[in-house]
Amino acid sequence: MTARDLQIRLQKDLIELFKDRRYKTPDGKMEPVHVFRQNLPKRESEEAEDPFPYITVVLDSGDVKNQRSSHKIAVFFRIGIYDDDLTNQGHASVLEIMEVMQQHYEETNTLGPFAFNDDEDGFAWALQNEQSWPYFFGAVGMTWEAHAPRRKANKFV
């Protein structure tokens, strides 16, 4: 299985996980989290709203050490929330998303042929330190494993 397969599965899984949770958009509506792969889509015009709330599933890096080791795939998730409440507490929604993800992937640590490697790198998260009201951001990092492609059988060996 490839890193691209993992990215697609994670996107679908997160859409399902957050389909019933609603967060505020810049135009005042309440919508589920939009989940994108690698980057946010480009705006069609300057007047178009940013796609808040969102999670981007970003493939960071991967490696296969040798023919017997698994394919390790480092993934991070960018989280963006819009919250124009004057209490300036939008970080709580970012943390909620992180906590839902952490609980989900610790309880169900496989996704098809992929396994969340919680032994080695665990579940890492961070919040943005700079003030950016009414936009709030965070990130989650995880490492997944998959069977790496193997050498085809050789009839002479």
pLDDT digits (tens, 9 = 90+) for 50-60: 899 999 999 99
What's the pLDDT at 4?
A: 95
Query: What CATH topology corresponds to 3-146?
Result: STM4215-like (3.30.2000)
8: nearest Cα among 31, 32, 38, 33: 38
Q: Are 51 and 32 in contact (CB under 8 A)?
A: no
Quote the mean pLDDT of the chain: 91
Per-residue confidence band for 30, with pLDDT thresholds at 50, 70 and 90:
very high
Tokens matching residue 79: 């989280």
DSSP-derived secondary structure letter, 148:
P
The predicted model scores a pTM of 0.89
- Mark residue 122 as left, alpha or beta (left: phi above 0; alpha: psi -120 to 50; beta: remaining): left
Q: Report whether pLDDT(90) > 90.
A: yes
24: nearest Cα among 97, 96, 93: 93
List Cβ neighbours of 16 (8 Å cut-off, separation of 6 or more): none
DSSP-derived secondary structure letter, 154:
-
Q: Are 52 and 25 in contact (CB under 8 A)?
A: yes
Gap between the Cα atoms of 57 and 74, Å rounded = 11
